[in-house]
Amino acid sequence: MEAQEVKSVIKSLDKAQDTKTIVELLEVLKKEVVATEKFLRETKVGVAVNKLRTHADVEVSSLVKKIIKQWKEQVSKEKKSSKAPPKESSPESPAAATSTSPPVENRESKTFVTSKPRNPANDGVNINIHENSTRNGSISGLYTALAMTSDKLPSEIVLIAQEIEAEAFKLTDSKVSDQYRNKMRSLIMNLRNKNNPELRARLLSREIKSSKFVTMTNQELAPEALKKELADLHQKNLFDAQGAVQKRAITDRFVCGKCNKREVSYYQMQTRSADEPLTTFCTCESCGNRWKFS
């Protein structure tokens, strides 16, 4: 996580009032920040988080203690590593070649190969496009999120990151306001979701245009597995809610696909436009199996 991104999260943390938001922001810092002495001094993230050590909510105070402990261990590991004598290796050795080899663009297959975590600094990408540091930090955050599991060329990814940021900036009245920051934070967090590779892939393939992406709802941004789960839940709720108020008739005209019995209750309702046929909701009175058809 870049310093500018961390500073943005700290600002949100200072303004956050409800426990849920505070916990979400702390979880982001816990997962994304790799602490070094230099990074902690530059961002002052340790000071910001430590203020919440005595928070009234036990979940918050407990999480803060875990984060501080984790960062102390990371800084301690960094110090030990810097004191250790360097390992000797010949210039011809594979180890030496691996440690010094830069990222490589495979121009024939249009892929990018690197052993380092992908971000603008490691990929050699300049994100200082605007005079405003917040906008540049947003491009950096978008680039890192888009590139995290991709082998796309940096030039392709940074172009998409710039387009998304520009569309979000336009959508929020072309101002670096709280609305802009919240919008960028939401987009980046959705892209960084490890369970949502489809979203990143669809943006990188330009199946989703940047102008569409910045206006998508939380439901549209959700991972495919979650969308299916929500759709199944919606159907179940529709059965339960409507079945309780609709008058149901029992017939032997329908056969249950589960137990093959003909004792089936059903009701009909209009679930689509008026010129569409009624939807029939069926329930097997023997085994409880449910289905519908139009």
What is the CATH class of 228-293? Answer: mainly beta
End-to-end CA distance of the chain: 50
- Using an 8 Å Cβ cutoff, are 50 and 63 in contact? no
In sequence order, which residues have a C-beta less than 8 Å from that of residue 8 and are 6 or more positions away?
A: 134, 137, 181, 184, 185
pLDDT at 184 over 90: yes
* Alpha-carbon span 275 to 252, nearest angstrom: 28
Between residues 12 and 178, the one the model is more confident about: 178
pLDDT confidence of residue 247: 60
Res. 263: pLDDT tops 60: yes
Find out whether 39 and 3 touch, Cβ atoms under 8 Å.
yes
For residue 288, is it left (φ>0), alpha (ψ between -120 and 50) or beta? left
Domain ranges of the chain: 3-83, 103-222, 228-293
pLDDT value for 270:
76
| Candidate ranges 103-112, 147-156, 222-231; pick with highest mean pLDDT | 147-156
The pLDDT value given to residue 89: 47
Rounded to whole angstroms, how far apart are CA atoms 55 and 61? Answer: 5
What the block records as the tokens of 271 is 């679930």
pLDDT digits (tens, 9 = 90+) for 85-112: 655 544 444 444 444 455 655 545 578 9
> Which regions of the chain does DSSP assign to beta strands (E)?
104-106, 111-113, 249-251, 264-269, 279-284, 290-293
- Is pLDDT above 90 for 147? yes
Position 138 scores a pLDDT of 96
- Predicted TM-score (pTM) of the model is 0.48
pLDDT of res. 2: 82
52 token code pair: 């919440």
Whether 84 shows a pLDDT value over 80: the answer reads no
pLDDT at residue 61 greater than cutoff 50: yes
User: 241 pLDDT band (50/70/90 cuts)?
Assistant: low
Q: Is the pLDDT of residue 253 over 80?
A: yes
Q: What is the mean pLDDT of residues 151-158?
A: 93
Residue 80 pLDDT = 83
Q: In angstroms, rounded to a whole number, what is the distance separating the alpha carbons of residues 3 and 144?
A: 13
Mean pLDDT of the chain: 83
- What is the average pLDDT across 5-13? 85
Q: Decide if pLDDT at 128 tops 60.
A: yes
Q: What is the pLDDT of residues 188-224, one digit of tens each?
A: 999 998 888 889 999 999 999 999 999 998 778 877 7
What secondary structure letter does DSSP report for 250?
Answer: E
The pLDDT of residue 91 is 47
Angle between helices 154-171 and 133-147 (to 10 degrees): 130
- 3-83 CATH, one of 1.10.760.10, 3.30.390.10, 1.20.930.10, 3.30.360.10: 1.20.930.10
Which of residues 210 and 278 earns the better pLDDT score?
Answer: 210
